Structure 1
Amino acid sequence: MSSTTKSISLREAQKIVLLSQKLPTQKVATDAKNVTLSAIEHLGYIQIDTISVIERAHHHTLYNRNSSYNSDHLQTLVSDKKVFEYWAHAASFLPMADYRFSLPRKHAIASGKQKHWFKRDEKLMNAVLERIKFEGPLMAKDFDKKGVKHGEWKTAPTKQALENLFMQGDLMITKRVNFHKVYDLTERVLPSTINTKTPTEEEHGEFLIKKYLRANGVGKLTEMTYLLKNMKPLVSKALEQLLLSGDIIKIHVADHEYYILPESLELLNTPLTRKKLNILSPFDNLLIQRKRTSEIFNFEYLLECYVPQQKRKFGYFTLPILWGGKLVARMDSKADRKEKILDIHQLTLEPSLKKTEAFAEALNKELKLFLKFNKCTSVRLHKTIPASFQHYFEQSYPELFV
């Protein structure tokens, strides 16, 4: 280890990461919608997911950053042209202020340097583009021919054309109707004041690094380029330049070497709220890189909805629970919206969790808010591990349970 390389403890690294992620949730006194926008701008992206076992991931992630979050915020911010949909490591909501940094990917797809998963049909793409040009915003179903079936796992050719046009930047999404995308010409969606100058490779690399480190505290090259095709050489070069300039530094945490912004070390002087509990989405920015979650929080996590039922250990849609600066439990849940009951199929405590009474009190407090967020009024608890916790929890807080 170099004598000039700073070393911090794993506990200190966890604190920096959580504060950088705006966790645990802080109460806000300012306009709630602006707090949501600020969270998106700080985190850099909010992943969109279609699973609606509980409230969808993009709402869930923002709920954990804004105590006054409302699910209408996202659509309003899209309508106000403060946020737009595109691709980060996955489909996401992105800050409009960062629009120009989506251009390198769009240009690469348009030129054929980067492949999209749908086959390109230039003639059909042009026809789709012309219809939107003259008719205005349209959804994929507006192109469907009645009676034509494409098969359970097939995507209609016009939908493929729309997505290719979207990914290469000719179209943007103006809103969603019942979660269906509404497409329009990019020139009609973009604010007139937005910077549309394509960044240089140096600018792009620096942006990716600084954006990642502000949102995540510490990071490695592999983490900064997670699922970003062909970006490692560009980001690696930018890292060298930023190290030379002192804009970033290296630190050691246990057996791992990370990059960090020097000012992020000042977060060690900021108190971390340890009483507040957060029930997290599987797609939360804190958790999305599972290897990183394991290394920093010693928490092995797998979303088991993609695992055959007989092989599941924790449940179909397990939500990690953050408390006391640690990931201490997992809750397999489903919102029964008709009965307004949140089913907790299995609540599993980590073996390291010792203060179960204080944990139960914190979970009870958060569950009351989580129920409201999911439009439920009570909890149906099926199973806990250890089993002894179920009776204790239900008896301690009977007002929550049916």
Structure 2
Amino acid sequence: MTPDPTLAALRAAAYRTLIPERSVQAALNRMGFVQADPIRAPARAQDLALLARVRGYRAGDLERLYPTLDAEEDVIPNYGFVTRGVQRLLHPRVTATRAERDHPQLLARVRDLLRERGELHPRDVTAALGQTRVVNAWGGQSNATTRVLDALHYRGEARVVRREAGVRVYGPAPHLDQYRQAPLPDPERVRGVVHLLAALYGPLPEASLGYLVGLSRYGLPHLRPRLRAAFRAAVREDLRGAQVEGVRYVWPADWALDSLPVPRGVRIVNPFDPLVWDRRRFEHLHGWAYRFEAYTPPARRTMGYYALPLFRAERAVGWVTMSVHHGTLQAHVGLRPGGRITARFTGALERELERYRVFLSADQVQWAWAASASSQT
């Protein structure tokens, strides 16, 4: 009988998400889903996630390569990039969006325009149909035509064909028409999503997997009850699990947590990376609470606007904030109390910062310890 894993074994198993790949496509194939976020501090989350996994990756490579990749923009628990095999689990998506309820005639006109032109940038729709401002989900103002384009995309009637300066350009989605005509059975779809999440974010607390499955109602809105049932069935029948220091963890049954190598070196990851996404797991495994503070008032921040978690081997030991000014990558490194600054650690940190310099096409690196940095030996 295999003994229950230790916290160290769980940390090593979580760290396996950073296994390097030779190409962007290989990383997408292994992960299945890469979360997107528009903040650039110092780069978008999707680029930072791929930097952590693809040798020689540069900021913007995903956007540049996207038309040639087996990749689509879509939503599961959050918005991001999926392979078409994963997207087939999500469509057909049976739902009525707010945009089509509020603007049915506009939606029909935008649909016709898309069929007529083949590709649509939001500005093209505005030029052709005019601009109507509506209140968005955050209380601000949005262009109604942009909302309708997003709705067509969500419904599977359009796909993102590329981006121009970060703005989505839409086109027809004939492969999604095929998914509508010959959909996968619902049980296969929901089971596939649950197992994808368990593999991407595992090992993780059972409660956290349940939370992710709950968020996936955005990807499969009409299959929400089936998703919950698939989660319960996976925990009961498919996944392995154990109680570790008071928390019930689950992970894919074919993972061997007792034979993983001990991670080495220093790594810096983005706040939405699967390695750190689950804050419940992060605090349990590392003994401190990481906070994403981009939307925290500046006076209340303790780590910084966009603090990137810092790992020393498999342990999270601090955070790094970065920005590029006039060709110089500037970084401030904070450590948790008790962290030791050794020559070996400093050398590994400088190599990781150099990797970021190349990724960001900066000319040089300037960095310093934050005021919270701990003892030096």
Instruction: Specify the TM-score bucket, using the shorter chain as the normaliser.
Output: 0.7 to 0.9
What does 1:350-389 align with in structure 2 at a 5 Å threshold? 350-354=336-340, 356-381=342-367, 384-386=370-372
Mapped partners of 2:261, 2:181: distance in 1: 40
Deviations 1:101-160 (A, max 9, x none): 1115x22x2xx3xx5578541111110011110111011011224996849931111111
Which residue of 1 is the match for residue 78 of structure 2? 90
Q: How much has 1:214 moved relative to structure 2?
A: 2.1
Which moves more between the two structures, 95-104 or 194-203?
194-203
Q: Does 1:99 align with 2:87?
A: yes
Mapped partners of 2:180, 2:254: distance in 1: 28
Q: Is the 8 A contact 2:10 2:257 kept in 1?
A: no
In structure 2, relative to structure 1, the CA distance for the partners of 1:372 and 1:207 (3 Å cut) is same
Mapped partners of 1:117, 1:380: distance in 2: 47
Q: How much has 1:164 moved relative to structure 2?
A: 0.9
Which residue of 2 is the match for residue 131 of structure 1? 113
Look up the equivalent residue of 2:15 and give its one-letter code. L
Q: Is the 8 A contact 2:15 2:263 kept in 1?
A: no
Mapped partners of 1:273, 1:382: distance in 2: 25
TM-score normalised over the length of structure 1: 0.81
Which moves more between the two structures, 197-206 or 135-144?
197-206
Q: Is the 8 A contact 2:73 2:81 kept in 1?
A: yes
Q: Is the 8 A contact 2:156 2:176 kept in 1?
A: no
Which residue of 2 is the match for residue 396 of structure 1? none
Structure 1 residues not aligned, in runs of 5+: 394-402
Which residue of 2 is the match for residue 400 of structure 1? none
Deviations 1:281-317 (A, max 9, x none): 1121222222232223334111212011111111111
Look up the equivalent residue of 2:162 and give its one-letter code. K
Which residue of 2 is the match for residue 328 of structure 1? 317
Deviations 1:325-355 (A, max 9, x none): 111111122122xx111122x4211124235
Which residue of 1 is the match for residue 68 of structure 2? 80
Q: Does 1:272 align with 2:262?
A: yes
Which residue of 1 is the match for residue 191 of structure 2? 206
Q: Is the 8 A contact 2:294 2:306 kept in 1?
A: yes
Which residue of 2 is the match for residue 227 of structure 1? 215
TM-score normalised over the length of structure 2: 0.86
- What is the total number of aligned residue pairs between the two structures? 365
Q: 1:11 aligns with which of 8, 16, 26?
A: 8
SS at match of 2:87: helix
In structure 2, relative to structure 1, the CA distance for the partners of 1:226 and 1:117 (3 Å cut) is farther
Q: Does 1:258 align with 2:249?
A: yes
Which residue of 2 is the match for residue 177 of structure 1? 164
Structure 2 residues not aligned, in runs of 5+: none
Q: Is the 8 A contact 1:77 1:83 kept in 2?
A: no
Question: Pairwise CA RMSD of aligned residues?
Answer: 3.0
Mapped partners of 1:371, 1:271: distance in 2: 28
Which residue of 2 is the match for residue 57 of structure 1? 45
Which moves more between the two structures, 161-170 or 207-216?
207-216
Q: Does 1:238 align with 2:225?
A: no
Mapped partners of 2:180, 2:286: distance in 1: 38
Mapped partners of 1:124, 1:361: distance in 2: 58
Mapped partners of 2:232, 2:2: distance in 1: 15
Q: Does 1:308 align with 2:293?
A: no
Which moves more between the two structures, 133-142 or 289-298?
289-298
Q: How much has 1:191 moved relative to structure 2?
A: 8.7
Q: Is the 8 A contact 2:120 2:171 kept in 1?
A: yes
Q: How much has 1:321 moved relative to structure 2?
A: 0.8
Q: Is the 8 A contact 1:97 1:194 kept in 2?
A: no
In structure 2, relative to structure 1, the CA distance for the partners of 1:43 and 1:297 (3 Å cut) is farther
Mapped partners of 1:185, 1:45: distance in 2: 22
Which residue of 2 is the match for residue 319 of structure 1? 308
Which residue of 1 is the match for residue 54 of structure 2? 66
Mapped partners of 2:114, 2:180: distance in 1: 24
Mapped partners of 1:197, 1:150: distance in 2: 38
Q: 1:349 aligns with which of 331, 335, 340?
A: 335
